[in-house]
Amino acid sequence: MGCIENLEYEKILPLGASFKECREYVEKNFQEFWYVDPGYKLFDEYIIGLPPIALGIDGGRVIFPYTKPCHGTYLLAVDDAVEAERVRKTARKKK
């Protein structure tokens, strides 16, 4: 398992955002978004949250929620075209 701090990420929503806010933000602000269930592996991390979890794709950027026990959920963006393509192949379009 990896560590999210090893990734070069941009914070889209700050620490303390709710999982619901993260899902709504992705659905409203990204033309391409996909749904996965909790436990989906992304960047070597297991995604935590209330299903369905929305992941955004913006070109080669992946936008995803990340939950820390102390701080809540925040929304991150990471440039990784390979991981973006893997999401397209393994995630689903429908909630």
Partner 1 sequence: MTIAQPPGNALLILGCPEVPVQQALALHIAWSLQKQGTRVHAAGNPAVLNLLKVSDPEKRYLPAMQVLENCIEEIVEKKRTCDLCIVFAHSDAGISYAATLRHLLPSSRLVVIIFGKDPEALAALADFPCEKIVEKAVHNPMQIRRKINEVFGWAA
Other beta carbons less than 10 A from residue 23's beta carbon? 23
Say how far apart CA 14 and CA 88 lie, in whole Å: 26
Among 70, 82, 93, 94, indicate the residue that binds partner 1 (CB under 8 A): 70
Among 10, 37, 88, 92, indicate the residue that binds partner 1 (CB under 8 A): 37
The two most distant CA atoms of the chain are separated, in Å, by 32
Nearer to partner 1, 48 or 77 (CB): 48
Query: Residue 10's Cα: distance from chain center in Å?
Result: 12
Residue 86 is a binding residue for partner 1 (CB under 8 A):
no
Among 11, 27, 28, 41, indicate the residue that binds partner 1 (CB under 8 A): 41
Residue 1 is a binding residue for partner 1 (CB under 8 A):
yes
Phi, psi for 62 (deg, rounded to 5)? -110, 130
Where along the sequence are the contacts to partner 1 (CB under 8 A)?
A: 1, 18-20, 37-39, 41, 45-46, 48-51, 67-73
